[in-house]
Amino acid sequence: MKRRKPQRKTQRKRRPKSASKLAARRLPVNGPAVAVSAVAGDVDPLADARIRPLLERYCGLAGVKQTALGPDHSKLSLPQGERPFFRDRESLRVAFSLDALEHDPGAEIAVLGSPFLSQLIEAIRARAARLSLGLIAPTAPPSGDPKAVELTIPVRDGTAKPSKTKLAVHPMGRLVARVVLRAGAGVEEAVVESDVYDLSAGANVGDDLAGAFRDLEAGRVGPADPSVAAKAPAVPAREPGDLLRLLLSHLQEKSAERVTARRAAAEQELAAELGRLDRYFESILKEQSDPEAIGTVTALAERRRTEEIRRSQVKAVVHPLQLIEATVLMQRAEWQLESTHGRRATFSAQRSLSGGSAWLLACPHCGRPPTALVVCRHDHCGCEACSTRCSVCAEDFCRDHGIAQCRVDEQPACDEHVRVCPSCRLQHCTAHEGVCAEDGHTACSACLAPCGSCGRVVCNRHAEQSGADAPKGSRRLCTACLKYCEGGTNEPVGVDEVAECASCGKSVCTAHQAVCAVDGHVHCSRHLRRTDKSRRLVCARHRAGCAEEAMAFFASDEVEECPVCGKGACAEHRAACGHCGRQVCTADLAQQSRRCATCAQLVAIADPPEEVVTAARAVTGGALPKASRAWRMARDRSHLVVEVDLGLKRKAVFTLRHGTTAPESVVKHSLLGSKRRT
């Protein structure tokens, strides 16, 4: 009995349900989210028809050998000069579809947003930025009657002389560019193509001529022999900057729908993110009680909101990839225009001899069909939409030679009458110009205003606004009248609202100034402090301390120096000596005898000094005691205390300050009591 071989199950490859899912798994991307889309229609980005022709043209121009491995599968052999653009590889394989990628997983995928496309774009921009197709073959003869061309467009405030016709060779072409849109966490990339433009006139060519251009580009027809247009002069293309501006404006119009969609999505993401931030910081603020911590968290929340708003703004980056150009034989008609101000310009129309036979009249500036022609004051013309009239000199000018709105009255002005205000950095006309009194420079009238203190007219750069809580309210102040109050929060005030601090010389406004209770002078808050007992405001120079209360301070007029020990004593800690009559600190006063420490140390002296004798004569009226024990003296820190026995139990006690001969205080003692005489 033969054993039957088990049948081997064959597994069928399961195709992915969605091409976008496979691309999301295999394509490395930069950033948290990348969206890719084509410009024209809802086309699968893996099948974008622009990438393969772009690669083929690059290979033909750069000498890259392209070998077909399948319908959507190719091998590129790179010459030495092109390898740095592709990570120094000698060759690489490229897949244009998912089937080709599944067949060769090691191949590079040619899709928007892929590393290969970025490398290809860098190589194109470095080595193959222009593609010249040659001359488009003419298909129609030139018009025989020059007068048959009439200028049907009116000339504003001017006239047009009869036309002259001639043959000329015009350049034409289109621009291929990569547009990257960034907003928030999203990045969107696309390859965009402009329409076919006349590169000298700046006008969009007709469908028939654009079709002939695309036939030549696709290789369906060959270029004409250059000898066909050998006698016709070549009209140069516009300046590169002007030409790029024109083509990019057209690309901007074609991408407007994508930009609007990206902006709407970014606004939704921003609203959700701002809501999340508000909830997060609100929960943190509930846990804070310190005002300083609350201020810190609030500032951080505002900064994060600002960063998120700035990050969500739509930013478009345009990378020009390739300018595809050709030449065409044109019949030109030119008119000489002259304005009422004596300005002259040339306006031309052209008719292609390849394709249609209609005359193309376009604005030389924007390339659109004009409704009226205007002669610019710089001797060239433009359409009515591209030109305006100066509000100062009443001459017409195009948008490149003036401003559309003055910063003050929003009226147009030509470049001769345009100024840039150094204060606000905005443009204005000379009719709204003034002089700043600070250093004599000019500024727009919107930035000039008189000072609220001295009346001088100054610009915003040399002026500052005081706050509503200033002593004289909110005012505009020039630099000469501007002061900063040091007594409050360093707010700006006028020179007529301040006084100088007697301690530091800084300005203090009347709302924040106070005077010292001792000297009566104005001081700022830094140099004034209240005493501990009387709560009087005193400056640093008039602060004093009591020896009995080391932790408290007093005003200088509340503390006296003890004549015995020289230390300060407040009124609470000083008393009068019952013998010499001086005010001394309680530490140097005996509580029982009520005598100070100096009076308690009086000793007899037989021969007093001359200055003591002189002072004693003044006290006693000239009579001096003769007994040797009639004189008693003691010395302390500031005085010499002298006791003179006058007899009959009468005594005179006087104090003599060191270095003087006149008695400072006199106390006479008798049986009837003590009598103080100063």
Strand bridging mode 73-77 / 65-70: antiparallel
Q: Please write down the HEC assignment for all residues of 525-573.
A: HHHEEECCCCCCEEEHHHEEEECCEEEEEEEHHHEEECCCCCCEEEHHH
8 A C-beta contact, residue 438 and residue 446: no
Indicate if the pLDDT at residue 30 is higher than 60. no
Give yes or no for residue 120 having a pLDDT over 80: yes
3-state secondary structure of 360: strand
**Range with the poorest average pLDDT among 131-145, 207-221, 265-279, 344-358:** 131-145
- Local structure of 248: helix, strand or coil: helix
Give the angle subtended at the CA of 228 by the CAs of 223 and 230, to the nearest 5°: 115
Phi-psi region of 529 (alpha: psi -120 to 50; beta: other; left: phi over 0): beta
Statement: residue 641 has pLDDT above 70: yes
Token duo for residue 219: 């290789």
pLDDT > 90? residue 227: no
Query: What average pLDDT does the segment 434-458 reach?
Result: 92
Say what the pLDDT of residue 128 is: 54
In this structure, what token pair is assigned to residue 607?
């021969």
Confidence of residue 15 (pLDDT cuts 50, 70, 90): very low
How much of the chain exceeds pLDDT 90, in percent?
21
Q: Which stretch of DSSP H or E encloses residue 284?
A: helix 256-286
Q: Which residue from 111, 106, 127, 311 is spatially nearest to 191, judged by alpha carbons?
A: 111
Nearest Cα neighbor of 339 from 152, 154, 165 is 154
Contact predicate 192/39, CB 8 Å: yes
Kindly report the average pLDDT of the chain as a whole number: 82
The encoded tokens of residue 508 equal 């203090």
pLDDT band at 488 (very low <50, low <70, confident <90, very high): low
Rounded alpha-carbon distances, angstroms, from residue 381 to 241, 271, 367, 370, 399: 19, 48, 12, 11, 11
pLDDT digits 0-9 by tens, 515-568: 999 988 988 878 888 998 899 999 988 999 998 888 888 999 999 999 999 999
SS (H, E, C) 55-70: HHHHHHHHCCEEEEEE
Range scoring the smallest mean pLDDT among 20-24, 385-389, 477-481, 662-666 = 20-24
CA neighbor of 615 nearest in space, from 631, 600, 637, 628: 631
Return the closest-CA partner of residue 508 out of 517, 521, 531.
Answer: 521
| Alpha carbon 109 to its chain's center | 43
Query: What is the 3-state composition of the chain as percent helix, strand, coil, each rounded to the nearest 5?
Result: 25, 35, 40
The predicted-structure confidence for 492-510, as pLDDT tens digits, reads as follows 888 888 888 888 888 888 8
Contact status, residue 456 vs residue 478, Cβ threshold 8 Å = yes
Q: Is the pLDDT of residue 20 over 70?
A: no
**Burial per residue of 494-508, b for 16 or more beta-carbon CB atoms within 10 angstroms, e otherwise:** beebbbbbbbeebbb
Q: Is the pLDDT of residue 205 over 90?
A: no
Is it the case that residue 11 has pLDDT exceeding 50? no
pLDDT score of 144: 55
Of 507, 502, 505, 479, the closest CA to residue 491 belongs to 507
Q: What is the mean pLDDT of residues 108-137?
A: 81
Above 90 in pLDDT, residue 428? Answer: yes
pLDDT of amino acid 148:
60
Tell me, what's the pLDDT at 318? 78
Nearest alpha carbon to residue 254 among 210, 190, 199, 319: 190
% of the chain exceeding 70 in pLDDT:
89
DSSP secondary structure letter of residue 407: T
The number of residues making up the chain comes to: 678
One DSSP character per residue, 614-639 reads HHHHHHHTT----SGGGEEEEE-SSE
Q: What is the pLDDT of residue 34?
A: 31
Q: Work out the pLDDT band at 48, boundaries 50, 70, 90.
A: low
Q: What is the pLDDT of residue 29?
A: 30
pLDDT(170) > 60:
yes
Q: Which amino acid is at 422?
A: P
Pairwise CA distance, residues 375 & 156, whole Å: 8
Q: Let me know: does 390 contact 414? Beta carbons within 8 Å.
A: yes
pLDDT at 129 over 60: yes
Q: State the pLDDT at residue 24.
A: 31
